[in-house]
């Protein structure tokens, strides 16, 4: 699954996904702080039970009783806490104990000596994903003919930086893969790692990972794709008075919505849903050609919510967009000049507003005049021209 330039497949439809796919891996770590004893040397804690660490009695050292994060084997008793270390001129610091249960025993709490060892990661394949990503991406350092899409924009430090960027991106992408598809994913990664070499030509020089086409490992890619197909995310289409839109609910419950682009008008609307309940109400704002479409100037945010809108679910967000939720913000676009601030350069700005009455005025022309600007068809930040920066010879 390519992490930087991804393609999302939804039952026969191909949609380009936004820059980086993935999640965040968290690990619960037990606290290993010893409680203090009132004597110079804490005494050895008692044997624990049920996977907990050693008990601590009053004025004794030793490991604290484990809390709720017990080891997998509740039948194994925790080992005794170690003897507290003496501290001259003060109290003795209590010793720490380690549970004897599987997976490190119980986790200690934050108020007494720690019980068992490490807790498992939220992603059981995190270490394996890193090994696979490192193996694939290390090819960038071994074979100069290979490239990784997007690495140039994120990495510094030559080949080593590209390897790091590649590995981190691939690990982020792999974190979203369903657990029962890991074996198919790993087989595809190993196949690709064995394929890319120098010399090469065309697509064979572009380092890709499972989910990216064309694939140098068609059998492994098909097996991986078939597995992912069993985990199809909820999705659908909506139609309305303005345009046809689409919605998907990602595996983490987040809502994605966008609309078909009218080539003549050159407007691509999408929703940025930063707040919402998985499977329930969503709060989103419109984007136009990749730029946030705020409703009005910064002073209007309390009247217009900045262009934010709500719906009962993700399908409702797409339906509102189909009915012109985003289009209406373009009712009045105008340039304006901010009030001068000493020491701050005054730069003309451009905003769009759904209703001039928000500013207490009846027409868009009146709004523009008050801002010492003029009415425009569309603000430049929303214009998608496909313009190219000139090359050294003046071309594009």
Q: Which two tokens stand for residue 339?
A: 């009030």
Please state the length of the chain: 396
C-alpha 169/C-alpha 133 separation (Å) is: 9
The pLDDT-based confidence of 279 (bands split at 50, 70, 90) is confident
Segment 57-73, tens digit of pLDDT: 333 333 333 333 333 33
* Distance of alpha carbon 157 from the chain centroid: 25
Segment 12-27, tens digit of pLDDT: 333 333 333 333 322 3
The pLDDT-based confidence of 78 (bands split at 50, 70, 90) is very low
Mean pLDDT of 282-302: 93
Q: Does residue 186 register a pLDDT over 90?
A: yes
What percentage of the chain exceeds 90 in pLDDT? 51
- Which letter, b or e, does each residue of 53-67 get, where b requires 16 or more Cβ atoms within 10 Å of its Cβ? bbbbeeebbbbbbbb
* Distance of alpha carbon 365 from the chain centroid: 42
Mean pLDDT of 308-329: 96
From residue 393, alpha-carbon distances to 238, 265, 283 in Å are 47, 32, 47
- The overall average pLDDT reported for the chain is 74
C-alpha 2/C-alpha 165 separation (Å) is: 12
Segment 79-127, tens digit of pLDDT: 434 333 333 333 333 333 333 333 333 333 333 333 333 434 578 999 9
What percentage of the chain exceeds 70 in pLDDT? 66
The pTM (predicted TM-score) of the whole model is 0.54
Half-sphere exposure of 368 (CA within 13 A, CB side): 16
Least confident of 173-182, 185-194, 215-224: 173-182
* Contact yes or no for 235/247 (Cβ under 8 A): yes
């Amino acid at each position: 699954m390519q992490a930087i330039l991804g393609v999302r497949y939804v039952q026969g439809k191909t949609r380009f996904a936004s820059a980086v796919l993935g999640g965040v891996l968290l690990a619960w770590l037990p606290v290993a702080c010893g409680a203090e004893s009132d004597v110079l040397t804490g005494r050895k804690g008692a044997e624990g039970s049920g996977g907990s660490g050693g008990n601590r009695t009053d004025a004794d050292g030793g490991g604290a009783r484990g809390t709720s994060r017990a080891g997998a084997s509740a039948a194994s008793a925790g080992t005794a806490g170690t003897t507290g270390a003496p501290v001259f001129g003060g109290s003795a610091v209590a010793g720490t104990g380690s549970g004897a249960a599987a997976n490190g025993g119980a986790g200690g709490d934050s108020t007494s000596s720690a019980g068992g060892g490490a807790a498992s990661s939220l992603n059981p394949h995190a270490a394996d994903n890193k090994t696979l990503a490192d193996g694939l991406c290390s090819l960038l350092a071994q074979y100069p003919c290979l490239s990784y899409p997007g690495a140039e924009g994120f990495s510094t430090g030559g080949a080593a930086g590209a390897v790091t960027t590649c590995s981190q991106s691939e690990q982020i992408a792999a974190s979203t893969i369903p657990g029962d598809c890991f074996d198919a994913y790993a087989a595809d990664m190993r196949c690709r790692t064995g394929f890319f070499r120098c010399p090469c030509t065309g697509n064979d020089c572009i380092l890709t990972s499972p989910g990216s086409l064309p694939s140098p490992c068609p059998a492994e890619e098909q097996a991986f794709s078939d597995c992912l197909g069993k985990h199809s995310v909820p999705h659908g289409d909506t139609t309305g008075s303005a345009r046809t839109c689409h919605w998907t609910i990602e595996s983490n419950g987040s809502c994605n919505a966008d609309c078909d682009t009218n080539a003549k008008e050159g407007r691509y609307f999408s929703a940025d849903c930063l707040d919402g309940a998985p499977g329930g109400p969503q709060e989103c704002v419109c984007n136009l050609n990749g730029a946030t479409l705020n409703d009005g100037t910064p002073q209007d945010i309390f009247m217009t919510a900045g262009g934010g809108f709500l719906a009962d679910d993700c399908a409702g967000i797409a339906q509102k967009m189909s009915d012109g939720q985003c289009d209406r913000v373009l009712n009045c676009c105008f340039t304006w000049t901010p009030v001068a601030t000493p020491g701050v350069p005054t730069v003309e700005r451009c905003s769009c507003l759904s209703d001039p009455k928000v500013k207490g005025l009846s027409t868009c022309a009146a709004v523009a005049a008050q801002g010492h600007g003029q009415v425009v068809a569309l603000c430049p930040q929303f214009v998608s021209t496909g313009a190219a920066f000139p090359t050294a010879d003046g071309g594009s």
